[in-house]
Structure 1
Amino acid sequence: MLKHDSLQTETFSALRESISRRASSEKQLNQQFRFNSGRKRRIMNTNKNDKGFTLVELLIVIVILGILATVTVFAVRGITDQGQQSACDADQKTLETAVETWFAQYGGDAIPGDVTEYQNGDPVLATTATGVLAEGGFLVDEPAATNWTVSASGDLTAGTNCV
């Protein structure tokens, strides 16, 4: 019977040890939960008191937006200048090609420009060299005089928009 009693005592002591371990871990969990829930409660209370942004935060955002707007304006201005220069370069090449084609087809040393036609003694039409090139089919239309002008000898002169 002693063997049975010692086995029973061992079993009870193992069971008590297991229960005490479980109880201590539950106690730790409860303490941790109470700590976390108290911290969460404090965080939630501070958030309820916040009604909006502070003046400093708003000023910082406004300054950052101003800096971004300034950078954007200067970047776009540079792109616009590049576009104008590209348009001038393209106009120059087109006019040079039209003048060369005119001289290749008609020969001579001058494009008949600045000609005033008279009808019944009255001036009817004044044509420039670029107008003659456009009428002859060498240009689709007469370019704006602010970009380039073509002299009768075929020389190109930059207008106010092209330098």
Structure 2
Amino acid sequence: MLEKLRAARGHEDGFTLIELLIVVVILGVLAAVAVFGVQAFNGEGKAAACETDWKSVETANEALYAKTGAYAADTAELKTKNFLKDEPSTTNGYTISIDKATGAVKATGACTH
């Protein structure tokens, strides 16, 4: 009887549910590997951004000192006096501060310098 039903149905091509589930699981594993691989580059980018911001603030602070004989109190002063185009972003997990007495530029948070 089972053979009569199979013969009546004919030969059907397609994927079984198990085959489709295996493909979905494999794609999920590959996606997870890709996501974790890309996250490593994100941390390197934040560190590079911090280094660049730190160097820009240090250069601007030294230029202000060369012109006026005094260091800036903060990055806002450097921006106000047109030594910086924009203040460093505080949303990247680090902050950059200036010691007015010595002119030392310090980064704290995700990147320390």
What TM-score do the two structures reach when normalised by structure 2?
Answer: 0.73
CA shift in 2, pair 1:112/1:150, >3 Å: closer
CA shift for structure 1 position 143: 2.3
1:61 equivalent in alignment to 2:10:
no
Quick one: distance in 1 between partners of 2:15 and 2:89? 55
Deviation readout 1:40-91 (Å, 9 max, x if unpaired):
xxxxx8xx43353223312220121012111110122122112211111110
The letter for the 2-side match of 1:131 is A
Pair member with larger Rg: 1
> 1:74 aligned to 2:44?
no
Show the counterpart of 1:148.
96
Q: Which has the higher contact order (CA 8 A, sep 6+)?
A: 2
Distance (Å, rounded) in 2 between the aligned partners of 1:112 and 1:66: 52
CA distance in 2: counterparts of 1:96 and 1:156, whole angstroms: 6
For residues 49 and 89 of structure 1, what CA distance do their matches in structure 2 show? Answer: 65
Give SS of 2:106's match.
strand
Give CA deviations for 1:84-111 in whole Å, capped at 9, x if unaligned: 1111111011011111111211224xx2
**Are residues 1:158 and 2:103 paired?**
no
8 Å contact 1:131–1:142 — kept in the other structure? Answer: yes
Q: Give the gaps of 5 or more residues in structure 2.
A: 1-6
Amino acid at match of 1:106: T
Any idea what the Cα deviations from partners look like across 1:16-42, whole Å, max 9, x if unmatched?
xxxxxxxxxxxxxxxxxxxxxxxxxxx
Residue identity opposite 2:38 in structure 1: V
Gaps of 5+ in 1: 1-44, 114-128
Whether 1:85 aligns to 2:47 is: yes
Q: TM-score, normalised by structure 1?
A: 0.53
How much is the aligned-residue C-alpha RMSD, in angstroms?
2.1
